[in-house]
Structure 1
């Protein structure tokens, strides 16, 4: 009788892994769609509801505020109830909140519904990524997690393409149909997630070893068992409080800061893309073409980063991503009144180079923390990174009016270079480690 000593982190990618990637990445696609669709309809809803500059900023930032609370909530629920149950909360909230937006009649109501959508997005980050990473083989962990970020930008691109189409055919209430359209994608996501099993690592951390072994056999084959899972119960349990001190506190600081500095400029650009491009003297067809082209370049940048993540390594990718994207933002600040083609080239360079930092947002926090606190770490990182993103998004329209586009772009460059400093000082390399080794302080 042959004894199977092979770690489940060294097995080939199978059909279950591919389906689970779709199930998890679908959440990222919906996230990108619902967070970006507000930019498509903002000008139209502003006219229809008579929104002031204050409420434009608040509504654009409302989902980010919701993500702050949803990240904490999702991390806590995922750690306490397991990955499987929480996997369906986000899609349900997407559908209900999106449909309700069609009948909104006030700025306050729209703010609250966007806030609920943000909570759904915040819940998605810890549950979808922790469930996926706890099943994936080591070789595919980085690229598959990075793929979730690609799907976020794909969802954002789809929002601009479909949203503009709906506006053209939807008539007076087109902007309402645009906001409600994310409900259809939420329904599809809920359906595709039916049948998802629980994470064996989470079950093992709760002492439910028999259930964990049953799922391992179901996913990897009858000759696999808990002996093939490179994760042993620890003599000293790790709690969520470990995120605030010792080695994990330092890791949490790194994750929070690099994540924040990589999302603040991106969210500001997505929420106010038409206004930013208009301030950079891109009008008419240039503005329409620019919005779609830049969004697609964000996707291409993430695709390139995903292909390089194992060969280049996590640390080098993060450092170079911040460096070159920051230089592109400096260029936009310095040459803000140049020809439209140069503006698009610089904006496109930013979109391409920031891809490395974007894909690592979901890789690093899932690799640097053990199973007991992995979901909470992703949730805390999600929440804290959105504080700056929400404030930055809220300030964009006021910054454009008071400081001008040049100083707004220079401020975005400063934020990006702060991310570079934290990456240089604290970014570890985890590409060759299994999940338990990467999460170990030793």
Structure 2
């Protein structure tokens, strides 16, 4: 009997005002991530002499939020257990408190601890917000909706550099106001997120059928039903870290974690110490904050074509092509540390533009490749794996500049990026145009699972 080809009210839904609001609210975490990780770059120009930080402590302070994100990523397990909506606002309360507390710190270790707490709240928000967004996203719009969250990261980063450079005029204690300023957008986002519904996929997976159906009809209309989002029934598929390392899903865990790590290890170091990096290249001297804002803006621009190519070109071809371009860009920065300026600028542009592919895939891939019962756990674990590399990259960057200079330091980044290219060639699957159920379903022996007839 021929299978019916009727439209699925959920997977084939049109982009609505609800989807627009949820995308904006879910992008709040990445915006604050970019803001918090970048504002420290400007603040360190005042903090370092005032608190007498050496290269080791400067690296630790720069990496502290990343270490926190590594820890916070493990809280993805909690969001799979207790739900997306509850954690969606709670984590930002911690972020607001830590942001304000930075105003009163007196020592390097105090700043390290508080920014570690900031990172934990950001790391927790990644699996919470992106899982919720993915589970409400129609398949046609999923790539763009999740990709926009990464655009928000670079908007936050660009805004931070500009705000930081402007606030330097306040005086020697301007850095305190810079760091505490992240509380303002965090408060706004907490208020906006109030009233966001729980994921119907999570509710159904927990056996809360009536609540799940109520949310579905509120968001997608009276024609939507539980049959449109069939997931394993309650008790059939429990949340477990071990599932991420089971046959079939192990390759996916390695793929996402390793490509994510290879992408962000050099990138976060460059963003966190943007002014120092540009000074090493003798660019934007005297206004390195604005120069760093321009570099961050280039990363933002790179995300825009990737938002559309992720569906048209496909997930696998796009990320392979992107890593190849990034490798060329950062290799030029390592091979020509003394110029000419045209080659240095060209290297920055190429690296930034091609980084859009991995940026878009960093949260799209784990949300598509893992099922509802471990989706938050998967996003959290792969984020933690990526931050493991980012911590070392950010911690070692100022030490590398001091010990070896900018050229050799960037060549190490090129080697890491090339390793990411090899990971994608070997492991990247193709999930373009698949429903969320089909994309996350695997056989024990590979990436492409058979999806259910109703998918």
TM-score normalised by structure 1 residue count = 0.96
Report deviation, 1:289.
4.5
Q: Give a deviation string over 1:145-184, Cα, whole Å, max 9, x none.
A: 011000001100010111111122x222111100000000
- Match of residue 411 from structure 1: 412
> Where do 1:70-149 residues align within 5 Å?
70-73=72-75, 75-149=76-150
Which consecutive residues of structure 1, in runs of 5 or more, have no partner in the other structure? Answer: none
Report deviation, 1:252.
0.3
Q: Give a deviation string over 1:194-225, Cα, whole Å, max 9, x none.
A: 11010000011111111100111111112322
Report deviation, 1:232.
4.9
> Where do 1:153-232 residues align within 5 Å?
153-168=154-169, 170-232=170-232
- Match of residue 268 from structure 1: 269
Contact 2:124–2:380, Cα closer than 8 Å, also in 1: yes
In structure 2, how many angstroms separate the alpha carbons of the residues matched to 1:359 and 1:42?
29
- Asked if residue 326 in structure 1 is aligned to residue 327 in structure 2, the reply is yes
Report deviation, 1:313.
0.8
- Match of residue 37 from structure 1: 39
- Asked if residue 310 in structure 1 is aligned to residue 296 in structure 2, the reply is no
Q: What secondary structure does 2:233 align onto?
A: coil
Contact 2:216–2:225, Cα closer than 8 Å, also in 1: yes
Report deviation, 1:7.
3.6
Structure showing the higher helix proportion among its residues:
1
In structure 2, how many angstroms separate the alpha carbons of the residues matched to 1:174 and 1:208?
50
- Match of residue 294 from structure 2: 293
Q: Give a deviation string over 1:277-311, Cα, whole Å, max 9, x none.
A: 11122252574553122111000001121121110
Q: Give a deviation string over 1:340-392, Cα, whole Å, max 9, x none.
A: 34312211211111111111000000000000000000000011111111011
Report deviation, 1:233.
3.0
Which consecutive residues of structure 2, in runs of 5 or more, have no partner in the other structure? Answer: 1-5, 443-448, 450-455
In structure 1, how many angstroms separate the alpha carbons of the residues matched to 2:331 and 2:32?
31
Contact 2:27–2:148, Cα closer than 8 Å, also in 1: yes
Contact 2:206–2:234, Cα closer than 8 Å, also in 1: no
- Asked if residue 47 in structure 1 is aligned to residue 56 in structure 2, the reply is no
- Match of residue 15 from structure 1: 17
- Match of residue 66 from structure 2: 64
In structure 2, how many angstroms separate the alpha carbons of the residues matched to 1:83 and 1:294?
34
- Match of residue 433 from structure 1: 434
How many matched pairs? 437
The farther-off stretch of 238-247 and 171-180 is 238-247
- Asked if residue 6 in structure 1 is aligned to residue 8 in structure 2, the reply is yes
Contact 1:33–1:182, Cα closer than 8 Å, also in 2: yes
Contact 1:5–1:228, Cα closer than 8 Å, also in 2: no
In structure 2, how many angstroms separate the alpha carbons of the residues matched to 1:45 and 1:166?
14
